[in-house]
Homo-oligomer: A and B are copies of this chain.
Amino acid sequence: MSDSNLSKHISNITELVQDYLKHNLEQKWELSPHFAQTAQILTQLHSADIAQLLESLPLNERMCVWQATTNDRFGDILLEVSDAVKASLLADLEDHEIISAAQNLDADELADLTPELPKDIVNELMQSLDEQQRQRVNSALSYAENQVGSLMDFDMITIRDDVTLEVVLRYIRRLKEIPTQTDKIFVIDKNGNLTGVLPFKLLLLNDPDKKVNEVMATNSIIFKASEDAHEAALAFERYDLVTTPVIDDNGKLIGRLSVDAVLDLVREESETEVLNMAGLREEEDLFAPVWHSVRNRWSWLAINLVTAFIASRVIGLFEDSIEKLVVLATLMPIIAGMGGNSGNQTITMIVRAIALEQIKTGNTSYLMVKELSVALINGIIWGSVIALITWLLYDNFALSVVMIAAMILNLLLAALMGVIIPMMRLFLNKDPALGSSVMITAITDSGGFFIFLSLATIFLL
């Protein structure tokens, strides 16, 4: 469908719903003509587009659209929306609707959904599955979020290696359906162990009389289900992969990793990074009740209050000095603020390079020297600028010297900690990104106030 068509449909739906909510509140939504029209337009939209629409509507409008969606779409849509919106949609469904929606899903999709569902519904669901499906759901659920196993699906075509390509072609034609994104067939032996892969490319390029084991690729990229998902995503980017087989620790083929799951992971990782940098705990439904938002923003604000309070106590140590020379209070935020910005530059670079596996703990001293040099130069440059301005404003040469010295020292502190903090966390096997910005800012604030005010106390008073 063309883009203009899509946005026309979406604005039609929005108008219908808003019109109903404005004028027809005495008539039930399901009985209104608006409902029928909305439902009709919705049938023409892709589930992913309906999901996007639901994300972008306030709660009451969202529920109208959701109710006008046919039951068979529920499963696909629930998979596409963010966790926050998912909760609001699930809350509107009866148990039996959830179960019938879930029954349309593949095993890996079911595994994605179950953590959000009430326990008794999950039990009922699992009992309605056949043995293979149940095993697959359990297998997918047995891996942590950061493991390849939690991203894999089971949409694969498998063959033996002793048949001809002609046979493979006939076998595929009989399947009637090929899973999306399939670009290769997995070759297994009689124990289910992976022996190679047959890309469609090789299937199409080679003489149909050849056997699979003559043309199949045996050195292609394979992941174990227990491997790190982030590293698998980097490999997809590096080698331009579309799908890869996933095996267990014994070499048995158990699933498939595809580029759409990788794309979602890359997007999600970057979201999480940005959200955490900004002090949000998790993704937030834009139209969630106020109370949800308050709770989501709670934890970082609390941390921030503690760090701000510490910085305030540092200033408190120097109240006598400030009383004697009040301009210190005026100038101190400049030192702290520049340190914060500079420290964030350093720590962000280091954290990113760690995530992209460009640095190891061995590089620490090299990077430290470099960052300290950059900080020294920046400190001299910006310290001089602000010292000059200070001199012009307050005509106090000693104060200007204190400004430049404090700027240089705080930028050096920022660089030092900007390298040490993520490297320490890497060394301790912790996530170097989490809270890095808050930590470095706390240090450059308290440190900046301390450096500036103590220099001033020593040399100016």
Whether A293 contacts B374 by the Cβ 8 Å rule is yes
Query: How far does the Cβ of A102 sit from chain B's closest Cβ, in whole Å?
Result: 20
Identify the closest chain B residue to A385 (Cβ). B305
For A381, what are the chain B residues with a Cβ–Cβ distance below 8 Å? 294
Asked if A352 is an interface residue, CB under 8 A from chain B, the answer is yes
Asked if A424 is an interface residue, CB under 8 A from chain B, the answer is no
Provide the bound-state CA to CA distance between A231 and B294, in Å: 31
Query: How far does the Cβ of A238 sit from chain B's closest Cβ, in whole Å?
Result: 4
Provide the bound-state CA to CA distance between A236 and B279, in Å: 29
Name the one of B48, B55, B181 contacting A183, with C-beta atoms under 8 angstroms: B181
Asked if A428 is an interface residue, CB under 8 A from chain B, the answer is no
Asked if A400 is an interface residue, CB under 8 A from chain B, the answer is no
For A341, what are the chain B residues with a Cβ–Cβ distance below 8 Å? 279, 300-301, 304
Query: How far does the Cβ of A119 sit from chain B's closest Cβ, in whole Å?
Result: 31
Query: How far does the Cβ of A277 sit from chain B's closest Cβ, in whole Å?
Result: 6
Whether B263 contacts A386 by the Cβ 8 Å rule is no
**How many copies of this chain does one complex carry?**
2
Whether B278 contacts A348 by the Cβ 8 Å rule is yes
Identify the closest chain B residue to A273 (Cβ). B274
Name the one of B48, B175, B297, B345 contacting A279, with C-beta atoms under 8 angstroms: B345
Binary contact track A287-324/B, C-beta < 8 Å → 1, others 0: 10011011001001110110111011101100100110
Query: How far does the Cβ of A326 sit from chain B's closest Cβ, in whole Å?
Result: 5
- Given A286-B353, A301-B338, are A348 and B242 neighbors across the interface (CB < 8 Å)? no
Interface of chain A: mostly helix, strand, loop or mixed: helix
Whether A49 contacts B238 by the Cβ 8 Å rule is yes
Provide the bound-state CA to CA distance between A302 and B342, in Å: 11
Whether A304 contacts B337 by the Cβ 8 Å rule is yes
Whether B345 contacts A278 by the Cβ 8 Å rule is yes
Query: How far does the Cβ of A245 sit from chain B's closest Cβ, in whole Å?
Result: 14
- Given A263-B236, A274-B274, A359-B286, are A316 and B344 neighbors across the interface (CB < 8 Å)? no
Query: How far does the Cβ of A424 sit from chain B's closest Cβ, in whole Å?
Result: 18
Asked if A267 is an interface residue, CB under 8 A from chain B, the answer is yes
- Given A300-B341, A352-B271, are A358 and B52 neighbors across the interface (CB < 8 Å)? yes
In chain A, positions 362-401 with a C-beta closer than 8 Å to chain B are 363, 366-367, 370, 373-374, 377-378, 381-382, 385-386, 389
Asked if A459 is an interface residue, CB under 8 A from chain B, the answer is no
Identify the closest chain B residue to A235 (Cβ). B3
Whether B201 contacts A182 by the Cβ 8 Å rule is yes
Asked if A266 is an interface residue, CB under 8 A from chain B, the answer is yes
Interface size, A (range): 35 or more
Asked if A27 is an interface residue, CB under 8 A from chain B, the answer is no
Asked if A31 is an interface residue, CB under 8 A from chain B, the answer is no
Provide the bound-state CA to CA distance between A327 and B175, in Å: 78
For A304, what are the chain B residues with a Cβ–Cβ distance below 8 Å? 337-338, 341
Query: How far does the Cβ of A195 sit from chain B's closest Cβ, in whole Å?
Result: 15
Provide the bound-state CA to CA distance between A294 and B411, in Å: 13
Asked if A333 is an interface residue, CB under 8 A from chain B, the answer is yes
Provide the bound-state CA to CA distance between A215 and B329, in Å: 76
Asked if A240 is an interface residue, CB under 8 A from chain B, the answer is yes
Whether B286 contacts A240 by the Cβ 8 Å rule is no
Whether B437 contacts A183 by the Cβ 8 Å rule is no
Query: How far does the Cβ of A262 sit from chain B's closest Cβ, in whole Å?
Result: 7
Identify the closest chain B residue to A340 (Cβ). B304
Whether B333 contacts A315 by the Cβ 8 Å rule is yes
For A83, what are the chain B residues with a Cβ–Cβ distance below 8 Å? none
Whether A301 contacts B259 by the Cβ 8 Å rule is no
Can you add 17 more A-B contacts, CB < 8 Å, to A172-B205, A181-B183, A311-B337?
A48-B238, A175-B205, A183-B242, A237-B263, A267-B270, A270-B271, A274-B348, A274-B352, A278-B344, A278-B348, A287-B366, A290-B374, A291-B377, A297-B374, A308-B337, A323-B323, A326-B326
